Amino acid sequence: MPTLSLDTRPEPLKIDLARTAVVVVDMQNAFASPGGMLNLAGVDISGADKVVRRIGDLLEAARAAGVQVVYLQTGYKPDLSNGGGAASPNPRKETALCLMRARPELKGQLLVEGTWDFQIVAALAPRDSDIVVLKTRYSGFAGTQLDSVLRARELRYLVFVGIATNVCVESTLRDAYFHEYWPLLVTDGALQAGPPEAHTATVFNVESFFGWTIDTDSLIKALRQS
């Protein structure tokens, strides 16, 4: 596979396609579909359909170029035993756990393994060649095998898409940087939880401190020319 020269910000970056993966973060009904967890929590997900389409276009180009696709999928056991106990801050801050506690009629329905809310949106369903890593915290590296899965395949350049830009995407991207990976954020392939300024802040953080950014059209064009 060739080395690609990408028109990234804040400066161009060369990546080795053979060592590159697209990391799809939490593109589940919970985060991207009407009636899902974020929608029930009152978060504006009106931009989700566009992000789903952009990610779908990118994954088509990435798979055609032989690039590995890795899905991160948040999910709790039905008894919520992996959500964190009384000593953990996770149940006090994570939206699904908070919402199920506040609204008992939703107990066992939000981000619980096997539920509709947990499932990856149908338009982005994983293929047999893709890797799916389950997680229970914002970062895909926290308490998972993601690092060992990537290292076993000698993957070092990670292209991030997903929801939410400012929560699980940024958390995982930061940890990728700390683990010596090369992170790229696809700016129009991610959607924030909260106001647009939250997305803008993550883009600033990535370009300034943790990695590089690119838009889907530029990345797809480069992949198709590889």
Confidence of residue 226 (pLDDT cuts 50, 70, 90): confident
CATH number at residue 141: 3.40.50.850
Q: Give tens-digit pLDDT for 73-128.
A: 999 999 999 999 999 999 999 999 999 999 999 999 999 999 999 999 999 999 99
Beta strands in the chain (DSSP E): 3-6, 13-16, 20-25, 68-74, 131-135, 157-163, 182-191, 212-214
Q: Are 189 and 155 a contacting pair, CB within 8 Å?
A: no
CA 75 to chain centre: 14
Q: Give tens-digit pLDDT for 184-202.
A: 999 999 999 999 999 999 9
Q: How far apart are CA 97 and CA 103, in angstroms?
A: 10
Q: For the chain, how many residues are written? A: 226
Q: Which domain holds residue 105?
A: 3-9+18-224
Q: Which listed residue (16, 50, 168, 215) is catalytic?
A: 168
Domain tally, the chain = 1
Q: How far apart are CA 19 and CA 31, in angstroms?
A: 29
Q: Which listed residue (26, 117, 175, 188) is catalytic?
A: 26
Q: Which listed residue (14, 44, 77, 135) is catalytic?
A: 135
**Catalytic status, residue 14:** no
Q: Are 160 and 199 a contacting pair, CB within 8 Å?
A: no
pLDDT at 215 over 90: yes
Q: Give tens-digit pLDDT for 127-166.
A: 999 999 999 999 999 999 999 999 999 999 999 999 999 9
Q: Are 137 and 173 a contacting pair, CB within 8 Å?
A: no
**Catalytic status, residue 50:** no
**Catalytic status, residue 26:** yes
Confidence of residue 2 (pLDDT cuts 50, 70, 90): confident
